[in-house]
Structure 1
């Protein structure tokens, strides 16, 4: 029966089989060539070509290899790439995607070879060129992108990453990117500060632009400097912009829906003007000062549905009001003490904090479908603040999950966390995840007391990352298994903790649900980052 199903699958039209391959991971797609003659032919004509020196040579830059062996393998790689592309050209087959990832630390590939490969791909009507080049530190050798990549009318997506240079003569070329929809440049070298504006103006159909940490040749001594400014206007179809490392940005694109922006951290003043992007739906900002943004600019975008702020300098108190907002994320934003959210259609709120105290978070109006996910990295001595923070999320029934990373940087002795108690019932949540633990085993009991006094979870997942993880998991497991014999975790004599209502505990290991706990512990030495979950039945 299985052979019959396989034959039916093999008999499908080649265009359907190519579509199936495109959905598979690259390694699995390659393996299909051994299934049958039909699949082998499908693989030989698969129009997505991906070449990587690291994968071909089967090594990482840290693995030692003789220079002669490197040379032999690199020559084999170059021969393989050229023969593959020539086969497509000679058989008049179309190449939809040409991906080339070169790691020059593994061996040198001449720029002439790369130029020929790109030229052959363009002759086969390539639609996507994805070219990245890694050069070891101290060897600033840029490869000038061949002009055929500019002239090819078939290209809809151009992705360049690493030590690649776009020559100024290309940008002054009279030909336009008549079909280009997606342009992504990361750590690419441009001719001057105005080169990128001119390049984009040659792309009338561009829909997505990504510029990350690009450089230009300085007008003075010719040394490299960071791209300082970006001005985008007159692009009617532009939907997405992702900019990193440019401090002066101006965007006038009425059709823009997604904007991600990060200047050069907080090192220099930045200016971003996107007020005319009235149809913006998603905004992500990193390393910016947003003291006036939420009060002055946020109301200008009535259709905003997703707002993500990371590592931003905030006001102590922020108010966010929107009937369209569906996703809100605040990650490692400093100064925050109070967050008031009036978003009745909000579906997801995420907060990540790092420090001794966290803000009060209030949802003035909220959807019944709202899920609140909190992640905190905290030192053990401040863990006793967790319970108050949990209770300061209003209303407390919206909290879905809590992810904790607990360190012990101060190396203090264990103390009773209930000493600085707050008289509240533990907050009910669905998931509690802990991925880092104090290495001092004398702190384990105090950590558990704080956690169980702070929240009442349906599931608890522990993941081993540091050396103390294995011992903590063993401690926690034994504590749960002998819960009827051990002490409870009530904070007060007149308040009964959920420990008393716990009826059963189900344990599952990520590696294998049927493995016993002892085997799981032994495996942690060989398989770090494994996790164990406890489902609590009340």
Structure 2
């Protein structure tokens, strides 16, 4: 018998073994400790420590057990978790090993008596030169307990990334201490409590190297009565390294940064008063993403006068925003444009010679005119419309100029009972349908009498090279109807027989059917494919003209 083959992987330098562990899911990385002594030592010195009290404790005791027994069980589980965290950190602390990342997620209703332990863990991690702290604190619904972030974290010189989530409070008394966030690059705060409205501005003013700021629905204590209120304003200036800002739920945002490259703004939920978003002085902006801006911020004048202030803009994404009826987008360097569910739009004029990708998602009774004024090459134009717009699809396709710019079309044909009651009527069209690479259909109406209307509108609206249907098992009947319609290819059996222009159906020579999991050269008949189709698996029609 041959001797056991040498374990070459274990002989690699520890820094490479640590790199391997960092690429694995946390549970799989922990399992490597049983492979050999080398891997056990590698795990013990792995500088990414992650603790989640729910994962460590496992399931709580049975509800049928007496109350005293459950209490004793919970106490033991809390102690087990706390001992494990402290023991792991001390292993690094006592050996003067550096901790690269410390991730801690706790549930306050299980650790209400152990917040002092959390302070100790954070202190030890900071003394080990931790670079990343990701601390999340959940509480039982109805509780309003907050853990005051210990000063050791604010004063740590080694921290490059700080992520705080949940019931954590940044106390205003920190302003009286020497903040030493000289290495901080990323600051991310989710639903944390700020001592007052100046806390954030004071905090980031001591972060000369900060590159990314993320604020999501944070709260501040009112100076009048001490009650909590959502943070409404943010002002950022003087940060020379700042690259990215993401804000969620903040009403007024003012940013003065010549280095800023990405701005993501999410309007507060159910917010109707005028917004104040000032980023005019961010002349190097490359990416602008804005969600749910439903006030009077976007105007025709804004696109005409303000947008040109960002000559380096490469990506513009507007989602669920209230718009004027007409917008003119002129950006020389723009490569990606996404407009999704933006209301009021009737006309979109795009002057972007370097545009590579344009996406439009619409919902409403009408679809806008989409005109590409100048394009050096054919961009990837992807259109997605819902059934509510489906009856206007051919008119919309006609209003995309030039007519050869569209590359793919995605349709979501809702199967709700209300939609099934609609009776789409195809309007007269006197132009050849545009050729596109791909047509994707998601969901279909359930009423059979609508099948022919849907297919006829599709046949007269576009000429796709491939058609992909990704629907659940209830849509197999529509797929079969669609296939039989394509295979008939006879005069007088489609809507175009009522008009002067024939649809592409009559030029179709052959139809090949596959599903996404099949190889191209597999020869399987349509019936077999349809019967074996699993839920939401795509079936693909490849058309030969």
TM range (shorter): 0.7 to 0.9
For the 8 Å contact 1:218–1:224, the answer to whether it is kept is yes
- What's 2:380 paired with? 371
Aligned residues: 522
1:199 and 1:433, CA in 2 relative to 1: closer, same or farther beyond 3 A? same
- What's 1:496 paired with? 502
Shift in Å, 1:438: 2.6
- What's 2:288 paired with? 283
How far apart, CA to CA, are the structure 2 residues paired with 1:64 and 1:398?
63
How far apart, CA to CA, are the structure 1 residues paired with 2:424 and 2:183?
67
User: What pairs up with 1:511-522 in 2 under 5 angstroms?
Assistant: 516-517=528-529, 520-521=532-533
For the 8 Å contact 2:420–2:450, the answer to whether it is kept is no
Shift in Å, 1:509: 4.3
- What's 1:344 paired with? 353
Question: Helix, strand or coil: the match of 1:120?
Answer: helix
Question: Helix, strand or coil: the match of 1:216?
Answer: strand
2:221 pairs with 1:217: yes
Residue in structure 2 matching 1:453, options 457, 460, 470: 460
How far apart, CA to CA, are the structure 1 residues paired with 2:392 and 2:23?
47
Of stretches 262-271 and 209-218 in structure 1, the one that deviates more from structure 2 is 262-271
Question: Helix, strand or coil: the match of 2:473?
Answer: helix
* Deviations 1:238-288, CA, capped at 9 Å, x for gaps: 111112222222211111111112332542221122222111111122232
- What's 1:391 paired with? 398
TM-score normalized by the length of structure 2 = 0.87
Greater radius of gyration (CA)? 2
Question: Helix, strand or coil: the match of 2:487?
Answer: coil
User: What pairs up with 1:10-159 in 2 under 5 angstroms?
Assistant: 10-56=10-56, 73-104=77-108, 110-159=114-163
Q: Which runs of 5+ in 2 are unaligned?
A: none
1:116 and 1:459, CA in 2 relative to 1: closer, same or farther beyond 3 A? farther
How far apart, CA to CA, are the structure 1 residues paired with 2:84 and 2:276?
48
Question: Helix, strand or coil: the match of 1:41?
Answer: helix
Shift in Å, 1:192: 1.0
- What's 1:169 paired with? 173
- What's 1:298 paired with? 307
Question: Helix, strand or coil: the match of 2:327?
Answer: strand
For the 8 Å contact 2:489–2:505, the answer to whether it is kept is no
User: What pairs up with 1:262-277 in 2 under 5 angstroms?
Assistant: 262-265=266-269, 266-277=271-282
How far apart, CA to CA, are the structure 2 residues paired with 1:478 and 1:43?
58
For the 8 Å contact 1:74–1:108, the answer to whether it is kept is no
Shift in Å, 1:4: 10
* Deviations 1:47-93, CA, capped at 9 Å, x for gaps: 12222344445679xx9897556665554433332222222223322
Q: Which runs of 5+ in 1 are unaligned?
A: none
- What's 1:484 paired with? 487
Question: Helix, strand or coil: the match of 2:458?
Answer: helix
* Deviations 1:104-129, CA, capped at 9 Å, x for gaps: 57775732232222122112211000
For the 8 Å contact 1:453–1:489, the answer to whether it is kept is no
1:206 and 1:6, CA in 2 relative to 1: closer, same or farther beyond 3 A? farther
Give the root-mean-square deviation of aligned CA atoms.
Answer: 3.0
2:465 pairs with 1:462: no
1:483 and 1:304, CA in 2 relative to 1: closer, same or farther beyond 3 A? closer
